[in-house]
Structure 1
Amino acid sequence: MTIFIQSFGYQLWNIITNGPEIPTKLVDGQRILNMNNEFTDHEYKLLQLNAKAKHFIFSNVDRIMVTYEGTNQVKDTKINRLVHDYELFTMLENENISSMYAHFNDIINALKGLGKVVTPRFR
């Protein structure tokens, strides 16, 4: 998504990630908003970029949501696969204790990294 937005302009990307550029002035040590009749040509360009950023976000909400939901589906699939590996974990025939332990730790750490904590079930 980053590259897609940047392809429309890095200034647009900067506004989307860092927030809008609001024309202000310093009065008695405090920042206050400029009045419309005080805007410079540069400030009008910043306001135009702010409007473009808002338009881009609103017109691409569906695309952004599909990306977000797709990311969640990928995460859920990884979690399901790792939980399956965890539940069916056995020592392989050609494995020693040390490599078995490392393999098991890899599964547990991958699950933790995805936000899934598994608790052992004793029989």
Structure 2
Amino acid sequence: MAQSIDKMPFFDGTQYAHWKTRMKFFIKSKDYKLWDIVEDGTFVPQQSKTDWSAEDRKKMELNCKALHILFSVFGPNIYEKMSSCESAKEVWDKLEVTYEGTNKVKKTKIRLLNLAYENFKMDSEEDIEKMFDRFSTMTNGLKGYGEAIPEEKLVRKLIYSLLES
């Protein structure tokens, strides 16, 4: 069953990589400037609100819109973990550390996925569809960590991974 393109992707703490990709595109589709705020952070003016420039006010409005979108997709447990955050970037960064890990953890996961990629072979009881699903999960995991593999290399790897039969 197809989902509405306007439906925000709910996050309950599972399948973070999948949710992260969907959420990134959802926010960009609403307003690309919102994604800039999530990715780059927001400047918080040091002066009182009455002294804010129009640009300061616009950045703060974008931050509030991005926060609203993010908090709207969290279940109660995730909301509790993120509720102290004051900027959309802070929420996004905290989600990444919580569900992807620190840079050291990410590097370890990338190494493990690269090792799985290098050793990938079709199992004897596996059909092509299951093999491709397993391959896609692994390569999408690498891509999620910023380790995209060129398509021609992926195709070669798949072909060489097939059983002779």
Q: TM-score under structure 2 normalisation?
A: 0.34
Choose 1 or 2 for highest CA Rg: 1
Larger strand percent: 1
Instruction: Compare relative contact order (CA 8 Å, sep 6+) and give the higher one, 1 or 2.
Output: 2
